[in-house]
Amino acid sequence: MPEEIYFQILKHDVKSQETKLLFEILSEQISIFTTKDIDWMESEKYSNLEMEKYYFKRSILRKTETIQSRLKQVVEILNSNDKYKDYQYLIPDFEFNATRSQKIYEIQINNRH
């Protein structure tokens, strides 16, 4: 879960390789939710990676109803902290995609350190 990545970030020195890697993992999670839908009439135009991300996105949205909300909150917290400014370019902004299967969920991350 995104908040678990956040807790791992808090455990490491800001300038560590681990911190950078954790930001890259968050970036990959975001890339799943920003993957464009497949136009099946032109499916040959998509790479295998694009197809896999699309299928994974559909699957994860069906199985985890709060994942986008959790990810969005972690991104906002990290982007608002100047301590992580050197890594903020790795986690692009994304919009919460409200679907019937996705719900807003307030995570409690300020209690664990």
Residue in 111, 113, 108 with CA at minimum distance from that of residue 1: 108
Q: Is 8 exposed, middle or buried (0-12, 13-18, 19+ CB in 10 A)?
A: middle
Q: What is the pTM of this model?
A: 0.78
- In a structure prediction context, what are the per-residue pLDDT tens digits for the chain, which is 113 residues long? 899 999 999 999 999 999 999 999 999 988 888 888 888 889 889 999 889 988 888 888 788 878 888 888 899 899 999 999 999 999 887 776 666 666 666 777 764 44
